Amino acid sequence: MADAADAQGSRAGEGDAAVRVLPVDGMHCAACASKVERAAKGVAGVREATVSFAARRARIAFDPRAVDLAQIAGAVRRAGFTLDIARDPEVRAAREAADARLLRLRVAVGAALSLPLVVIAMSHGAIPALDGPAMPWVQLALATPVYLWCGWPIHAAALARLRTFDADMNTLVALGTSVAFASSAWTLLAGGAAHAGHAGHSGHALTFEAAAVILVFVLLGRLLEARATARAGEALRALSTAAVPAARVVVDGAEREIAAAEIEAGMLVVVRPGERIPIDGTVMRGESEVDESLLTGEPMPRLRRAGERVFAGSLNTVGALEIEAGCAADETMLAQIAGLVDEAQSTKASIARTADRVAAVFVPIVLAIALGAVVAWLLLAPEEIRRARAVEALVSVLVVACPCALGLATPVAIMVASGRAAALGVLFRRANAFELLAGVGRVAFDKTGTLTEGRPAVTAVVPAHGWSEEALIGLAAAAEVRSEHAVARGIVAEARARGIHVEEPTAFTAFAGRGVHAKVLAHTVEVGNAAWMRECGVTVDAHGSDGSGATRVFVAADGAFVGSIALEDRVRDDARETIAALRALHVEPMLVTGDAEQPAGAVAKALDIDPAAVHASMTPEGKAALVARFAEEPRVAAFVGDGLNDAAALAVARPGIAMGGGTDLAKTSADILLVTDDLRRVPEAIALSRATLRVIRQNLAWAFGYNLVLIPLAAGALYPWTGWMLPPVAASAAMALSSVSVVANSLRLRRAVVMPRG
């Protein structure tokens, strides 16, 4: 299912580049993600590379004519990481499961050996049996397998970084534990231990237990972090597992089971009660309650009958359905949603850039601090504690430093929030869309099909002298029959309801935001607003205008005005609740429409939108210019409109929110997509975005604060006044918990109650 991201195509600023979202192995901190980015960007033909440490994924935009994925993967491999271009989900899942089992085994073995090691080291004569001359050798025997086997993944990763003259978190941990283990082994082997588990010859302490426990804590932290991060990605996995692997199709009157990936448009698919629907399509026979909550966030199943659309991933609950496939398996809405969520989780929010810059230089800074602490202890401390404290400070500084918390602060929150949003029926196309939406102070809505139902009905037909209602409506319908505009559909529906035959035009041209030009039988016909009539040189008779909120469409034939048609569109039932919820968030609603002032004002009045916030008679170009101006003002405005008709305004909005309703999600340029036409998702998305930014700021404050406080303590900054410094074991425990705490804080977004009430 994640492969759907491969088909998303180009994005703004990427031109005709191919875009792929691929798993990355071997990363252990944010600095690793930066190294993968640099390696990929260093390949000629790569336009952009963004790597999410939390999601373990890289989003790469490249020119397929200049470079292929194998070359990019080779560059990443030379940097010490693996870019998984094979993307076999079953193979990858099996490998990840095996890696998880091995990690659990290393933690269990390490803990089992470290526990007696700690007891021996900390007995200090309290247990006479543990105070004999053989006990230091027992410590060595217990610590060696922990250091060599349990800690091997850390040492191997550090060696891989060393081969590329680089360093990361593994370097810090490997160096710290190696110093602790090697100094103790040297003390023991050089002259034996004077005191079991406590001091070697010359009074220098043995720190076998520190080396072992540090490695166990680091591995335990990774295990907990992996589990917590896996919970953060549950929404995407839910979408992936909703894809049905096999389906029953009707071939020559008989049912046959095939792989769902082999379904093609036009095939007849049979879905029994309790099964998930494998493809988007139209019900041809049967009726059933269909649970679409995975796609739309709507909790109640909906009755679907013959002629109605259903979507892959939905659960068929009670009746058997025969469905005509409307697309291939990799083109379903489910595939598009999974691909967009996957891609959003693989992009970076701009708020993460500061953390990335710090993470890029974090390890060298920590190494410098550790070396400085060693020099200070060796030069300034009393001789009897000089060496022991220098080693302790070195180990503590190296293991307490935690670039992981910095690297996870933003991407894990984005992962959880994008999954939560998808469950609500809201798709964030890019991570920075959360930041954009959180900062809006206004929301500008299109009118037709957004605040209204998008099904205008004819309320009056006013023919000019010499024309009948039937002739006028028939001519207008013939001119509009090829148009996709909601007003055009209303006119055509009225003509057919009156039993009028609708002719096919011999020529048709639509002019967005103004009207249409068509050839109908022997007539040249213009249908549109008053501005279009003026542009065509037609004098419009103002009769028939009653001052109501109806939309008036004018009709001309052969350059002469022949009448007008009034249509009204009902305000959506959820529009009032949406406007009230926005006000509860201190967000000002606005109306931007191509319709005339009277119908726009009527809708604004019905929804209690300030008349000063109504912009009527806007062309598509005018809408885009107005929305672009909003983006530069102090109170930034989001724009909500139809994903296709308002493409220009959605493209320049910061952010643009497209109403879905089953359209091709991948084709709209909006930053945020609503899977359904439920307007209440707009304030929910704003509230969720604000909650996400709060969590990210909390995570960053914790990650920066943790390192700023504990690294000096580990170096012994308070020792001259308190006689205390952070022990290596405590430092490793703090480091392990720091990244887990960031992930745990982010997981709160899974349960965020985001619907504000007015």
Active site residues: 446
**Contact, 477 vs 525, CB < 8 A?**
no
Distance CA 356, CA 365 (A): 14
**Contact, 525 vs 519, CB < 8 A?**
yes
Question: What is the dihedral angle through the alpha carbons of 512, 455, 672, 747, rounded to the nearest 10 degrees?
Answer: 180
321-351 in b/e burial notation, b at 16+ Cβ within 10 A? bbbebbbbbbbbbbbbbbbbbbbbbbbbbeb
- 201 — phi, psi (to 5°)? -70, 150
DSSP tag of 132 = S
DSSP letters for 544-584 = T--SSSPEEEEEEETTEEEEEEEEE-PBPTTHHHHHHHHHH
Kindly report whether the peptide bond that precedes residue 655 is cis, defined as omega within 30 degrees of 0: yes
- What 3-state class would DSSP assign to 82? strand
Distance CA 361, CA 529 (A): 61
Distance CA 374, CA 584 (A): 57
Pick from 224, 195, 198: nearest CA to 209: 198
- What 3-state class would DSSP assign to 457? strand
Structure tokens at 608: 């209690």
Distance CA 332, CA 312 (A): 6
Question: Which phi-psi region, left, alpha or beta, contains residue 574 (left: φ > 0; alpha: ψ -120 to 50)?
Answer: alpha
- What 3-state class would DSSP assign to 123? helix
Instruction: Kindly state the helix (H) or strand (E) to which residue 589 belongs, with its residue range.
Output: strand 588-592
Pick from 402, 403, 404, 409: nearest CA to 431: 409
